[in-house]
C-alpha cells in the first residue's frame, strides 16, 4: 500500500501544475515510508533526486541517505549520491592510506615519492561503499564519483592531482570488472596530465600485467598517433595487442595493417595478412578477408 501511494504521488509530480502543491506531501509520505522500511530502492532513488533539487524540504539529505543505505547496502546509486554529498561538504576528514603496492610500512621523510605510500583525504564513506559493493560493476560509479571530484580540484591543488593518480592505481589493483574499466582511463589521464612520454612509460610497465584490456592498447595507439608518432613503438603496441587478443578479434589485425599502409611500411602488409589468417578463429576469417580487401581498395 505504501509503495502504491508513493508511486501515485510521483506520477502526479510529473505534472508541472500539480507538482508545487504536492512536493511537501511527497517528502512527508516518503519519510514515513522510509522509517517503516516500506520504500523500494527505486523509489528511494527518485525521492533523493527530488530532495537534491529541493533545499527547503525540511529533510536533511545526508540523514535520509544514511537510513536508505542501511536498508539497501547494495544500491550503488545511493552510495554514489551519498559520497557526492559528503565530498561537496568540504569537511575535514581523517586520512586514509591508499596502498600503492610498494610497501606496507609508512615512508620516512626522505623516501622517494614514487615508491612511498601516499596518504590522501578521502571520506570513510568511500571505503564503506567499496567494501559493501565489492569488486563488481556496481562499484564503478563510486570510484568514478571520487575520481571526478578530485579531478575538478586538480587545477588548484597538487594534492588532488596525486589523489586522482592513486585512486586510479588502487582501482587497477581491483579484480575485474573494476580493474579492466579503469586501465585505459588511467592511461588517458596520464597522457593528458603528464604527456605522451609518461604515457609510454606507463603503457610499457602495464601492457603485460593483468587485467589484460584490449582498449588499453587501442588507447595507446590513439595517443601515439596524435603527433609525430614513433613507428617502432606503434608496432610494439600493435604486436602486444595481436599477441594477447589476436585470436578472437579481427579489428586488431585490420588496424595493424591500416597503420602500415598509412604510416609505416606497406611491404609488411603481406606478412601481417598471413599471420592474421593463421591466428584468427575460423569464424572470423571470412569477415576479416572482406575488410582486408576493402582496406586494399581504399589504399
Residue 65 reports pLDDT greater than 80: yes
Q: How confident is the model at residue 90 (pLDDT cuts 50, 70, 90)?
A: low
Span of 57-66, 95-104, 166-175 with lowest mean pLDDT: 95-104
pLDDT at residue number 171: 96
Report the alpha-carbon distance of residue 89 to residue 148 in Å, rounded. 15
Higher pLDDT, 117 or 273: 273
SS3 118: strand
pTM, two decimals, is: 0.82
**Cβ atoms within 10 Å, residue 120:** 20
pLDDT at residue number 197: 95
**Length reported for the chain:** 299
pLDDT at residue number 114: 38
pLDDT at residue number 121: 67
Residue 187 reports pLDDT greater than 80: yes
Residue whose cell numbers read 525540511: 58
Q: How confident is the model at residue 178 (pLDDT cuts 50, 70, 90)?
A: very high
Q: How confident is the model at residue 211 (pLDDT cuts 50, 70, 90)?
A: very high
Give the closest residue to 173 by CA, choosing from 217, 209, 216.
Answer: 209
Amino acid at each position: 500500500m505504501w509503495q502504491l501511494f508513493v508511486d501515485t504521488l510521483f506520477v502526479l509530480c510529473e505534472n508541472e501544475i500539480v507538482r508545487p502543491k504536492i512536493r511537501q506531501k511527497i517528502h512527508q509520505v516518503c519519510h514515513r515510508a522510509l522509517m517503516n522500511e516500506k520504500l523500494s530502492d527505486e523509489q528511494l532513488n527518485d525521492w533523493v533526486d527530488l530532495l537534491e533539487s529541493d533545499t527547503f524540504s525540511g529533510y536533511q539529505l545526508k540523514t535520509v541517505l544514511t537510513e536508505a543505505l542501511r536498508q539497501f547496502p547494495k544500491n550503488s546509486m545511493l552510495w554514489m549520491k551519498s559520497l557526492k554529498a559528503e565530498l561537496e561538504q568540504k569537511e575535514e576528514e581523517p586520512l586514509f592510506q591508499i596502498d600503492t603496492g610498494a610497501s606496507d610500512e609508512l615512508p620516512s621523510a626522505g623516501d622517494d615519492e614514487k615508491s612511498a605510500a601516499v596518504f590522501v583525504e578521502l571520506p570513510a564513506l568511500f571505503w564503506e561503499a567499496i567494501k559493501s559493493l565489492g569488486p563488481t560493476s556496481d562499484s564503478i560509479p563510486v570510484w568514478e564519483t571520487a575520481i571526478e571530484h578530485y579531478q575538478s580540484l586538480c587545477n588548484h591543488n597538487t594534492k588532488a592531482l596525486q589523489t586522482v593518480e592513486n585512486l586510479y592505481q588502487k582501482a587497477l589493483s581491483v579484480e575485474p570488472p573494476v580493474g579492466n574499466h579503469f586501465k585505459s582511463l588511467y592511461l588517458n589521464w596520464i597522457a593528458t596530465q603528464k604527456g605522451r612520454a609518461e604515457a609510454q612509460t606507463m603503457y610499457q610497465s602495464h601492457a603485460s600485467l593483468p587485467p589484460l584490456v584490449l582498449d588499453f592498447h587501442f588507447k595507446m595507439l590513439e595517443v601515439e598517433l596524435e603527433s609525430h608518432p614513433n613507428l617502432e613503438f606503434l608496432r610494439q603496441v600493435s604486436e602486444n595487442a595481436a599477441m594477447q587478443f589476436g585470436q578472437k578479434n579481427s579489428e586488431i589485425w585490420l588496424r595493424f595493417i591500416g597503420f602500415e599502409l598509412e604510416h609505416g611500411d606497406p611491404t609488411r602488409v603481406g606478412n601481417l595478412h598471413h599471420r592474421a589468417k593463421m591466428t584468427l578463429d575460423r569464424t572470423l576469417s571470412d569477415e576479416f578477408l572482406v575488410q582486408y580487401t576493402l582496406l586494399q581498395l581504399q589504399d
